[in-house]
Amino acid sequence: MPTTLLLLLAGVAAGLSGSMAGLASLFSYPALLAAGLPPVVANQTNTIALAVSSSASIASSRRELRGQRDRVVRLIPLTVLGGVVGGALVLVTPSDTFALIVPFLVAFASLVLLRPPRAAPPGEGRRDGRPNASTVVGAVFIGVYSGYFGAAAGVLMLALLTHLLADTLVRVNAVKNVLLGASNAVAAIGFIVFGTVVWSAALPLMAGLFVGNYAGPAIARRLPPRVLRIGIAVAGLVLAVVLFVQAVG
């Protein structure tokens, strides 16, 4: 299969899984490795594609974001800070070391997906969205994770926000899209300036991600959520084993 077609199809799969389960990198990152990119370069290129394609998710969430400006303004500096730190860690991590770390991140992301976040019952969340100390630490940590690799960062952020905001899951998810989009964006800027991005691989991946992000919600409405989550999580665990064997082989 031609590399461009492989990356395009992987982008579609990544967009679908990302919009439905928050695990886009489980498809996009291995496809970049298969295209011959070294692990750190593959991760940087992947982050660029995810950051650009996340604009589609944010744009489609404009209706849900109405009235949430204050929440976003309070929280976005935390994930931006995390994204800067995560991106910097990628730039200083040797490729062989990164290749060994990623299987554990993939396995962690897959296990997180098995326990999806639930909307907080009325009265348990905080409607003003003012973060307490634990929320600040959690938001920065998730921002770091998102900037470094990011698979299932959406699941983690949604779990955090549902305990902070007493609102519908759809509106909370819209805030999540903005926060993680920002952390990916700052990491992506750092990779463009200081890292190595293979644009010939990023562009077809980006195109596929846009398609997958657009089609994902419509498909998700027709699939049993539990079956979808478990299927992607199992695939992620298998992928973690494969990546680990490749890293130590």
Pairwise CA distance, residues 172 & 129, whole Å: 11
Q: What are 204-216's pLDDT values in tens digits?
A: 999 999 888 777 7
- Give the pTM: 0.84
DSSP for residue 66: T
- Closest Cα partner for 197 from 45, 39, 21? 45
- Range list of H helices, the chain: 3-21, 25-34, 39-60, 62-65, 69-92, 95-113, 133-148, 153-164, 169-194, 199-220, 225-248
pLDDT band at 129 (very low <50, low <70, confident <90, very high): low
- Of 89-98, 130-139, 219-228, which has the strongest mean pLDDT? 89-98
pLDDT at 119 over 80: no
Question: Residue range 136-165: average pLDDT?
Answer: 87
**What pLDDT score does 104 carry?**
92
Pairwise CA distance, residues 150 & 42, whole Å: 13
pLDDT at 7 over 80: yes
pLDDT band at 118 (very low <50, low <70, confident <90, very high): low
The set of long-range contacts for 155-158, using a CB threshold of 8 Å and a minimum separation of 24, is 155/21, 155/22, 155/23, 155/109, 155/112, 155/113, 155/116, 155/117, 156/112, 157/79, 158/22, 158/117
Pairwise CA distance, residues 198 & 196, whole Å: 7
Which tokens belong to 166? 């007493």
Residue 220: partners with Cβ closer than 8 Å, 6 or more residues away: 19, 20, 228
Count, residues in the chain:
249
